[in-house]
């Protein structure tokens, strides 16, 4: 049974200068360009890991809850189409737009 034998995982990447994530006592602290850090307490049954400052791994038994927590973290700073800055899923491709041209 998947979930019990090997947990469900979602990986988020943080892209942007000065954007970083860190764990403080199993809680997630995000510095993503706002005037204040964002503090997230994970729900019961969800474990968060930060192997690097720009990567978050969400794992747990419940597939829906893992996806929900990943979507909530991503919603704090969705990737923008011009520079690609923000929090994105590791397998997500961001459609980039051309900026305004001078002239």
Query: Which DSSP string corresponds to 74-90?
Result: HHTSPPPTTT--EEEET
User: Mean pLDDT in the chain?
Assistant: 91
Reported as a pLDDT band with limits 50, 70 and 90, residue 102 is: confident
Cα 95 from Cα 43, distance rounded (Å): 32
Query: What percentage of the chain carries pLDDT values higher than 70?
Result: 96
Q: What is the pLDDT of residue 38?
A: 92
* pTM of the shown model: 0.89
Task: Sketch out the chain's domains with CATH numbers.
Answer: 8-89 (3.90.930.12)
Q: What is the pLDDT of residue 99?
A: 87
Cα 42 from Cα 5, distance rounded (Å): 21
The tokens describing 64, both together, are 């829906």
Which long-range contacts (C-beta less than 8 Å, at least 24 apart) are formed by 42-50? 42/69, 43/69, 47/7, 48/23, 49/23, 50/21, 50/22, 50/23
Cα 23 from Cα 35, distance rounded (Å): 19
């Amino acid at each position: 049974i998947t979930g019990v034998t090997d947990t469900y995982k979602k990986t988020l990447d943080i892209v942007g200068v000065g954007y970083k994530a860190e764990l403080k006592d199993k809680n997630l602290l995000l510095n993503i360009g706002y005037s204040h850090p964002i503090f997230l307490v994970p729900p019961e049954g969800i474990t968060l890991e930060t192997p690097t400052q720009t990567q978050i791994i969400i794992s747990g038994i419940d597939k829906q809850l893992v996806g929900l927590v990943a979507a909530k973290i991503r919603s704090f700073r969705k990737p923008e189409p011009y520079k690609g800055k923000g929090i994105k899923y590791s397998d997500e491709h961001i459609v980039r737009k051309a900026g305004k041209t001078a002239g």
